[in-house]
Structure 1
Amino acid sequence: MSAEPAASAPTHLDDSAHLEVLGYQENFNRSMSLWANFALGFTYLSPLVGVYSLFATALAVGGPPSIFWIFIVGGGQLLVSLVFGEVVSQYPIHGGIYPWTRRLWGRRYAWMAAWVYIWAMIVTITAVAQYGSGFLGSLFSIPSTPLTTLLLTLALLLVALILNFTGTKTMARVAQIGLAAELVGVIGVGLYLLLFQRKHPFSVFFDTMNVQGDGSYVTAFLGAALAGLFLFYGFEACGDVAEEVARPAVRIPRAMMMTIFVGGVSALFSFGGYVLAAPDLPAIVAGKDVDPIPHILDSALGPVGAKIFLVVAVTAFLSCVLSLQAAASRLLYSFARDGMVPGHSWLSRVTPRTKVPANALIVVCTVPVLLSLLVFINEAILNSITAFAVLGIYVAFQMVVLAALRQRVKGWKPAGPFSLGKAGVVVNVLALAYGVFAMYLLVQPGSTGNVFTDWIVLIGLGTVLVVGSLYLFLARPDRLSDAPAGDAIAVAAAIRTHTARRAAAAEPVEPVDAAP
């Protein structure tokens, strides 16, 4: 289910020729390697951020067995990444979900998918910067107040923006530094806790510790699903920067799957290590300790070790914000390049020297700044916007999976060098089934008794969908664009034809390369 070795695989078009078949010209520097592309996806996925954010909640709702959601969601998202891999291998162009859905279905469908996804990504940028401000404040011993949280959040957003402005190479370097920080912070610390600070037996992962009360544990376990669902997205960012990656049709599918595998292993070590090293696990499960990780680290590493971990964590959070900004700006650029949003001429500009969509970067930093001001006014909305971000991203993911399945039914056979072959339909169906199940879990209402609070995730998604639909059907942005749409079968045929002609004419055709 991956590209074959060069000795037996068919050749494929070089990057410029492939892009030309898709209707575009080279505008970016292809300076990202396989490892840099993987680092971008991994730091966006950020198991350190995900585990830290939801560790206490997962244990309070589902107890230690909630760790098994990492296996369940990891397997489901691997199926989704395989579908994405085939799509991006045929369409290695900037923007990811937006151009994929446009070429697989149509302009209106793609507009809604991108509209939901852009808002979900912008909200995610806001949430990650907010959570990271706590680590930054702790590192410099700054008292936590609403004002200091706001200022530190803005600092993370602006530093990431400045780094993104300097170009793709800087972004790739910072992402790789963030990757190293993530691996140290999650795998390194997790292993240390497992080997030297373990206070509980491994059998604790099968002990519900009575979180279900008098009810069924199945209900409690399903309620803890967010522990895994929040962890395994970000791999799609590998495809958002496709035009800045050398040999993207081969490398991006690999980078996506590497992100899932390494992210899953990292999350397991981290989550498992914290559980086994917790000095007072019953207090965490009972909800009495709502921020247990600092206590665990201080107990296991001491003050100096805990301070070193804060440096690693801040590096990981900064890299995560940078990766999110980079991915969101490329999506917005792709949207604007096709004339699908107001101000598209301004948003689609690429800086001559650094070759980055600077104006799109400004937007994906400015809107999170405004959202951070709202959080400053009402801190309670942070959890709500975070929950919306997760659901919005899953909705956008499944719009790609559904569109791919629709094309397969119509006869589409992906033409990129990465192909699932006959297994493609089965994997596609399973990925869709998993996605529907995940979204069902995400929209389950709370139990506070307050209708607005309990249904805030659906209310948020509904608001975005209604506003987007009104703009779509009143302004008709799909009519302003002549970008190709719904052409998956035709493009697959064109790619095969061009490849055959180049081979027959003995023109240089780039082999499928296994090297990074």
Structure 2
Amino acid sequence: MASKRRVADEPVTSILADGDIPVSSNGGGFSGDDEVLAALGYKSEFKREFSLFTTFCVSFAVLGLLPSFASTLYYGMGYAGTAGMTWGWVVAMVGIQSVACSMAELCSSMPTSGGLYYASAVLAPPGWGPFAAWITGWSNWLGQVTAAPSVNYGTAAMILAAASIQNQDYVPTNYQTFLLTVFIMLLHGIMSSLPTKSLAQINTVGSTFNILALIVVLVLIPAGTDRPSRGLPRFTPSSEVWGTIYEGTSFPPGISVLMSFVAVIWTMSGYDSPFHLAEECSNANIASPRAIVLTSAVGGTFGWFLQLVVAYTVVDINEVLESELGQPFAAYLIQCMPTKMVLTILTLTIIAGFSMGQGCMIAASRVTFAYARDDCFPGSWWIKRINPTTKTPVNAVWFNCIIGILSLLLIFGGELAVGALFSIGAIAAFVAFTTPIFIRVFFVGTRFRPGPWHLGRASIPIGTTASAFVALMVPILCFPSVTSPDLTLEDMNWTCLVYGGPMFLITVWWLVSARKWFKGPKVNVEHLMLGEEGTVFHETRGGVEVLFHCYWRPGQAVRCTTIVTQWQQQQKGANYESS
């Protein structure tokens, strides 16, 4: 007599209630990752050639601490000075790490390319799923599609700043910055169209260089500073570094420090990449969340060290912000380093920035593909095509590339106008990050079905902290640096318009049209993420064990799902019982 075995005991990675196994529609064997993806409603279309390490490499490349810091120094140092860079970074990281941990928990439960968008749809209260997915998806896409242009703009500005250092008569123009940034965008578009295996290899090299370059710079700046030859102490006294808040805004010091968080948030917003690469990662519902937390923790720690090094060696903040070089990081280096050392550090930062922009474009293309797969965009039929040769979403890559190039026209609006790209990246990403977390904490509660990586009892407190942090920061990031009557068009913070305008139109689109046809992610198998009440019945039909999972919500009719799998058919000798 065959021994009794529970389905939940079988070696199949699954988040289904009671260990249910999704239907194998092609009659072939499913890997554990394919089972999970099928349970979430999608078939596997990518080769799973990313591991925990290579996924971390992509996300760390997207994080790009060195080029991110260089690109956002104008905001991090300019709003609150060294105080915002030192203890301000630590305060911000508490909220950021809370968001990362809560996101990782969602990723373990729902490892799809759609990620946050899928989670919002599944976790939302009955009837609100499509709208939650719509807002989350578009906000996330706005953050993703502006990431590569903003990174590449910073890289182009550093290249031209290096040229200015070599030739002091040369002053970069907006036109030259625009053309160089577009050229970098096109290069990244070509590189991002390569097969997954090549992308993994390229990003492994790029991320390794990012880490090494960061370590080299952390050593070079304090070791090579020539402040003593300029009649200054080697390092600024700690009391001045930690205790003096630079008056970079017209707001009280506390608000100025909060405003400086735009640099921290934008720098640290790349840790969601493992979520979007989950369909290309093996053992995704464990490796991907680990990569998220690892990226945030490692990035936050090394980023703080970089902030400290710069805070202790900067000479004059005003000169850094107002330099004709057009790149504050280059202006800072000139204040405290010999020329050859400045060019060496800029070269390392430029190469790291190029790698970061490449990672951003890859991550954005996966998000666009996932949303197009559910017909979110006009022309989704073309965007969601997988290239038959590379097995990657090449059309999505070039769709994003074109949108990114158009957004770079903000360069001609001046420093604050193009700065909106950075603020959009911060706000759009964190709104998308936190929407499913907020729903999970305040609407789902204990009914949430976690994956194998979860926070346990700390899930709700950490999720609440993450939600509160983002709720505080969204309006803060829209504040202008000056207040009325000194506020002018040139000093205006255009984030509320550049982000709020498209989101307003997207909401109107929903009310007028999209609510009639957009139903959210296409879920082919009920995975009971919300934990509806139910039970499992089973019987034998033709020698095959058939499971009937019947479930319901209050006020709704009973629904039953029949689960029969090819794997079960191969195990006819076993007798299964429900849990």
TM-score if structure 1 supplies the norm length? 0.86
Tell me, in whole angstroms, the C-alpha distance in 1 between the residues paired with 2:10 and 2:305: 37
The aligned residue for residue 12 of structure 1 is: 13
Q: Which stretch shifts more, 329-338 or 314-323? A: 314-323
1:476/1:226 Cα in 2 relative to 1: closer, same or farther (>3 Å)? closer
1:361/1:492 Cα in 2 relative to 1: closer, same or farther (>3 Å)? farther
2:112 and 2:275 in contact (8 A); partners too: yes
Q: Which stretch shifts more, 139-148 or 152-161? A: 139-148
The aligned residue for residue 162 of structure 1 is: 190
1:413/1:117 Cα in 2 relative to 1: closer, same or farther (>3 Å)? closer
The aligned residue for residue 5 of structure 1 is: none
Q: Which stretch shifts more, 283-292 or 182-191? A: 283-292
Deviations 1:336-375 (A, max 9, x none): 1122322121111101221111111111001111222453
Alpha-carbon shift at residue 376 of structure 1 (Å): 4.1
Which of the residues 219, 230, 248 maps onto 1:191?
Answer: 219
2:78 and 2:317 in contact (8 A); partners too: no
Seq. identity, %: 21
The aligned residue for residue 22 of structure 2 is: none
Q: Which stretch shifts more, 292-301 or 454-463? A: 292-301
Secondary structure of 1:230's aligned partner: helix
1:338/1:65 Cα in 2 relative to 1: closer, same or farther (>3 Å)? same
The aligned residue for residue 465 of structure 1 is: 503
Tell me, in whole angstroms, the C-alpha distance in 2 between the residues paired with 1:24 and 1:213: 49
Tell me, in whole angstroms, the C-alpha distance in 1 between the residues paired with 2:511 and 2:364: 24
Deviations 1:122-170 (A, max 9, x none): 2232221111112233556695222321221111111111111112222
The aligned residue for residue 366 of structure 2 is: 330
Amino acid at match of 2:195: G
- Equivalent residues in 2 for 1:64-143 (5 A)? 64-67=82-85, 68-105=87-124, 106-138=129-161, 143=170
- Equivalent residues in 2 for 1:475-490 (5 A)? 475-476=513-514, 479-481=517-519, 483-484=522-523, 488-489=529-530
Deviations 1:283-323 (A, max 9, x none): 55896798553244356653443333333222222222211
Alpha-carbon shift at residue 15 of structure 1 (Å): 0.6
The aligned residue for residue 48 of structure 2 is: 30
Which of the residues 340, 343, 354 maps onto 1:307?
Answer: 343
The aligned residue for residue 356 of structure 2 is: 320
Tell me, in whole angstroms, the C-alpha distance in 2 between the residues paired with 1:445 and 1:468: 25
Unaligned runs of 5+ in 1: 1-7, 508-516
Q: Which stretch shifts more, 44-53 or 135-144? A: 135-144
1:493/1:81 Cα in 2 relative to 1: closer, same or farther (>3 Å)? farther
2:121 and 2:130 in contact (8 A); partners too: yes
1:59/1:347 Cα in 2 relative to 1: closer, same or farther (>3 Å)? closer
Tell me, in whole angstroms, the C-alpha distance in 2 between the residues paired with 1:213 and 1:327: 34
Tell me, in whole angstroms, the C-alpha distance in 2 between the residues paired with 1:42 and 1:460: 27
Higher strand proportion: 2
Q: Which stretch shifts more, 351-360 or 285-294? A: 285-294
Tell me, in whole angstroms, the C-alpha distance in 2 between the residues paired with 1:322 and 1:176: 12
2:416 and 2:493 in contact (8 A); partners too: no
2:96 and 2:265 in contact (8 A); partners too: no
Tell me, in whole angstroms, the C-alpha distance in 2 between the residues paired with 1:177 and 1:269: 23
1:133/1:404 Cα in 2 relative to 1: closer, same or farther (>3 Å)? same
1:160 and 1:319 in contact (8 A); partners too: no
Tell me, in whole angstroms, the C-alpha distance in 1 between the residues paired with 2:183 and 2:141: 22
Higher helix proportion: 1
- Equivalent residues in 2 for 1:384-403 (5 A)? 384-403=420-439
The aligned residue for residue 151 of structure 1 is: 179
1:62/1:16 Cα in 2 relative to 1: closer, same or farther (>3 Å)? same
Tell me, in whole angstroms, the C-alpha distance in 2 between the residues paired with 1:492 and 1:377: 56
1:450/1:264 Cα in 2 relative to 1: closer, same or farther (>3 Å)? same
The aligned residue for residue 53 of structure 1 is: 71
Aligned-residue RMSD, C-alpha: 3.6
- Equivalent residues in 2 for 1:489-500 (5 A)? 489=530
Alpha-carbon shift at residue 331 of structure 1 (Å): 1.1
Q: Does 1:276 align with 2:312?
A: yes
1:63 and 1:207 in contact (8 A); partners too: no
Q: Which stretch shifts more, 467-476 or 135-144? A: 135-144
Secondary structure of 2:45's aligned partner: coil
Secondary structure of 1:454's aligned partner: coil
Q: Which stretch shifts more, 14-23 or 483-492? A: 483-492
The aligned residue for residue 454 of structure 2 is: 419
Tell me, in whole angstroms, the C-alpha distance in 2 between the residues paired with 1:9 and 1:235: 32
Tell me, in whole angstroms, the C-alpha distance in 1 between the residues paired with 2:535 and 2:311: 54
The aligned residue for residue 20 of structure 2 is: none
Secondary structure of 1:489's aligned partner: coil
Aligned residues: 498
Alpha-carbon shift at residue 92 of structure 1 (Å): 0.9
1:282/1:395 Cα in 2 relative to 1: closer, same or farther (>3 Å)? closer
TM-score if structure 2 supplies the norm length? 0.77
Amino acid at match of 1:126: P
Alpha-carbon shift at residue 87 of structure 1 (Å): 1.0
Tell me, in whole angstroms, the C-alpha distance in 1 between the residues paired with 2:317 and 2:192: 44
The aligned residue for residue 286 of structure 2 is: 250
